[in-house]
Amino acid sequence: MASIFGSTVGHITEVNHIKGPIRPGNVLVITDEEKGFVYELPEKTNIVVFANKYNLNLEDLMTLNYIQDETEILFEGSEIFINITDEQAISK
């Protein structure tokens, strides 16, 4: 599956925080080794507010995190993938 999507098993398990083997029925985020990191939300928000607060591209965030509705509530503790590197985040 990883090779079909141009990724690696290691990358898929890292992005999805999977510690054991991938099992049938797991819901996975599969990216093509997109640079970035997973961020745990410290509070309830929505994707528009989050993108504006951190000056991030809304369309990219929605696509990478399979969010179709801008008004969808993202709860505290939810994890989202942000397609910038740690170094880029620190320099902003």
Residues 9 and 47 in one domain: no
Q: What is the pLDDT of residue 86?
A: 53
Residue 13: exposed, middle, or buried by beta-carbon count in 10 A (0-12, 13-18, 19+)? Answer: middle
Low-confidence stretches of the chain (pLDDT < 50) are 90-92
Q: What is the pLDDT of residue 58?
A: 92
Regarding pTM above 0.75, the answer is no
Q: How many domains does the chain have?
A: 2
Residues 51 and 27 in one domain: no
Range of the domain at 13: 1-31
Q: What is the pLDDT of residue 88?
A: 52
Average pLDDT taken over every residue of the chain: 81
Q: What is the pLDDT of residue 43?
A: 95
